[in-house]
Chains A and B, each alone.
Chain A
Amino acid sequence: MLVHNYIEQNAEKFPYKDAAVHLGGRINYLELEAAVNRLANRLIEFKLKPGDRVGLLLESSINYIIAYFAILKAGGSVVGLNSQGTIRDFRNILGDCEVSALILSKNLGHVVKEIYQDIPSMKFIVSDGSYEHYPKDIEKQFWLDIQLTGDASRPYIAQKEEDIAQIIYTSGTTGKPKGVTLSHKNLNANTTSIVKYLELKPEDRVMAILPFYYSYGNSLLLTHMYCGGSVVIDNRFAYPNVILEIMSQERVTGFSGVPSTFAILMHKSNIRNYRFDHLRYITQAGGPMTPALTQKIMEALPHLKIFIMYGQTEASARLSYLEPDKLLEKIGSIGKAIPGVQLTVKDENGKVCKPGEVGEIVASGDNIMVGYWNNPESTQKVLKEDGLHTGDLATVDGDGYIFIVSRSSDMIKSGAHRISPKEIEEVIAEFPGIIESAVIGVPDEILGEALVAYIVIKDKIDQKELRKHLRLNLAPFKMPGEIIEVEALPKTQSGKIRKFELVEQHRQKART
Chain B
Amino acid sequence: MDIAQQFRTFIIDNFMLGRSPDELGDDDSLLDKGIIDSTGVLELIGFIEQTFNFTVGDDELVPDNLDSVNRLIAFVTKKTKK
Could you list which residues of chain A lie within 8 angstroms of chain B, going by C-beta atoms? 83-84, 235-242, 260, 264, 268-270, 273, 415, 446-447, 464, 467-472, 476-477
Contacts and interface: CB of A to CB of B under 8 A. Distances in A.
Contacts of A273: 59
A317 to B, nearest CB: 22
16 contacts: A235-B31, A238-B31, A238-B36, A238-B37, A239-B61, A239-B63, A240-B38, A241-B61, A241-B62, A242-B62, A242-B63, A268-B61, A269-B58, A415-B38, A415-B39, A446-B42
Contacts of B34: 83-84
Contacts of A476: 15, 37, 40
Contact of A268 (B15, B18, B31, B58): B58
A83 B66 CA distance: 23
Interface of B: 13, 15, 17-18, 31, 34, 36-42, 45, 58-59, 61-63, 66-67
B37 A239 contact: no
Contacts of B13: 464
A23 to B, nearest CB: 11
Nearest to B57: A270
A239 B62 contact: yes
Nearest to B43: A481
Contacts of A472: 17-18
B59 A241 contact: yes
B61 A236 contact: no
B48 to A, nearest CB: 13
B5 to A, nearest CB: 18
A242 B60 CA distance: 11
A446 B40 CA distance: 12
Contacts of B66: 239
A380 B67 CA distance: 47
Given A468-B17, A471-B17, A240 B39 contact: no
A239 B41 contact: yes
9 closest residue pairs by CB, A with B: A471-B17, A472-B18, A471-B18, A238-B38, A238-B41, A468-B17, A239-B63, A270-B59, A237-B38
A236 B31 contact: yes
Q: SS class of chain B's interface: helix, strand, loop or mixed?
A: helix
Given A239-B67, A447-B39, A472-B18, 5 more contacts: A84-B37, A239-B41, A270-B59, A476-B40, A477-B39
Contact of A241 (B39, B58, B67): B58
Nearest to A450: B39
Given A238-B41, A239-B41, A264-B38, A270 B67 contact: no
Contact of A240 (B15, B17, B37, B61): B61
A311 to B, nearest CB: 22
A446 B42 CA distance: 10
A28 B15 CA distance: 38
A472 B17 CA distance: 7
A237 B31 CA distance: 10
A26 to B, nearest CB: 21
B63 A467 contact: no
A464 B66 CA distance: 25
A237 to B, nearest CB: 5
Contacts of A240: 38, 61
Nearest to A108: B34
Contacts of B63: 236, 239, 242
B18 A270 contact: no
Contacts of A238: 31, 36-38, 40-41
A242 B45 CA distance: 16
B57 to A, nearest CB: 9
